[in-house]
Structure 1
C-alpha cells in the first residue's frame, strides 16, 4: 500500500539512511527523508552521488519487497547492484562494472577478498550451499552474509547489497527483519572481522538490531 508514515515508508528511510551512512554517505536522516518524500534536497550542498545512491536505494528496497520470495541467483544479485549504482560517477568509469562482478581486486580492511576471476565460482558455491527460501535459519542467514562480504563480489556497494539481501532473507524465512544501524556499525564490523573465530559476536549484534527493529515498528503490525 505504501502508506505515508507507515511501516513501508519508515523502512525505506531507515534502510537507505543507515546503509548508505555506513559506507560513508553524508546525507543525514532528515535529508534522506526529504529525498524520499519530496524528491528534493535540503540543507548544505551534498555530493550528487549521495543523492543518486539514496534514490537508488529506495528503488532497490521496492525490488526486494516485490520479489522477496524468489530464490537468490547470480543474476538477481547483479540486478541489485545495477539498481544501486546506476547513474553514479563510478558507473562512468571504464574499470567499474555496474551490475557485474568486480574487475579489479579489492579488500575488506586489511583482508584480501576473492580474486575477480574466481568470484563467479565463489558465488555459485555460496548459492548452492544456501537452503531454499522458507527453510533458512537465523544462523544460516548470518553465515550467508559473512560469506558474501568475504567474497566481496562487486567493485563497490557490497555492503549495501549484502544488507538488503539480509532483509530479504529474513522476510523469506519468517524471521524478524532488521536494519544494521550506523550508530552501532563498530559492533557490526567487529562481528564480521571475528566471525570465523567467534560467530556469536555477529549473531548477537544482529539479534540486538532485531530487538531495536521490533521496538520501532511493532505498533504498525496488526496482531
Structure 2
C-alpha cells in the first residue's frame, strides 16, 4: 500500500461517511478535529470533548471550570458553522477551486450566525475579488504539488479577503487542495499555533517556504497517524514493522 492508495481510501471514506453521516470513522474524526483546532486558535473556548459531543449527540456538556462559568453562544455557532463548511467542501469535492467555491464556503460559515440577510451584506469588495482572482489564475490547475499548495496558502492569507475568517477558510482550502492532488491532507493543531504563525510570517516576509513546508509535513504525519487505523485493514497494519518510519516514508519520500 502506497500513499496514493491511502489518500484515495481517506477520500473515499470521508465522502461515504459524510453522505451517510457515519460519526465513528475518519469523517467524524476529521470534522471534530478541524472544528476544534481551527476555532480554538481563534479563541473559541469549547473543549475537544464538547466539540465531539456537539457533533455526535447534538448536546453540549457543561464542564466544571471556575474560570469559565458562562458559555458564549458564539462559540457553539462557530463549531456548527465549521461542521457545515467542511460538509459543503466534501459534498462539492469534484468542483474546481474558483472564487465562487471559496465564497460559498464563506457563506456556509456565515449563515450559521444570521437567520436572514441580504447576500450583498457579506459580498466581496471589487478589490478583494480582483486579488483573489489573480491568485487563483496562477493556481488554476486542479493537480498541484505540495509547494504550490503552500504558496497559495501564503498568498491567500496575504490577500485577507474574508477578514477574521480568512485563516479558517485558508486552512480548509489546503485540505481540499491536498485531496484534489492526491497529497496527504493535514490539520494544523492548536498547540502548534505559534509555530504556524512564525513560519507563516517568515514566508510572507522572506519568500522562504522551507520551514512552513516542513512544518506542514509534520502535521501530515500527525493526521496520518491519527487516521491510519480508520482507513487501513488491520492485517496490513500488522505487517508494518515500524509505524513511524512507514508514515514518515509516505509523507517525505513517496
2:92 counterpart of 1:82: no
Q: Hey, which of these two has a bigger chunk of helix by percent?
A: 2
Counterparts of 1:69 and 1:201, CA distance in 2: 31
Residue 58 of structure 1 is matched in structure 2 by 83
Residue 247 of structure 2 is matched in structure 1 by none
Residue correspondences, number: 205
Q: How does 1:59-208 map to 2 (within 5 A)?
A: 59-88=84-113, 97-98=121-122, 100-101=123-124, 117-133=126-142, 135-196=143-204, 197=206, 198-208=208-218
> What is the TM-score with the length of structure 1 in the denominator?
0.85
The structure with the largest alpha-carbon Rg is 2
Q: Which runs of 5+ in 2 are unaligned?
A: 1-16, 63-68, 234-254
**Do the aligned residues in 1 keep the contact of 2:98 with 2:136 (CA within 8 Å)?**
yes
Q: 1:19 to 1:85 in 2, by over 3 A?
A: same
**Do the aligned residues in 2 keep the contact of 1:23 with 1:159 (CA within 8 Å)?**
no
Q: CA deviation at 1:171?
A: 0.4
Moved >3 Å (runs of 4+): 91-94
**Do the aligned residues in 1 keep the contact of 2:45 with 2:75 (CA within 8 Å)?**
yes
Q: Which runs of 5+ in 1 are unaligned?
A: 102-115
RMSD: 2.1
Counterparts of 1:92 and 1:131, CA distance in 2: 33
SS in 2 for 1:195: helix
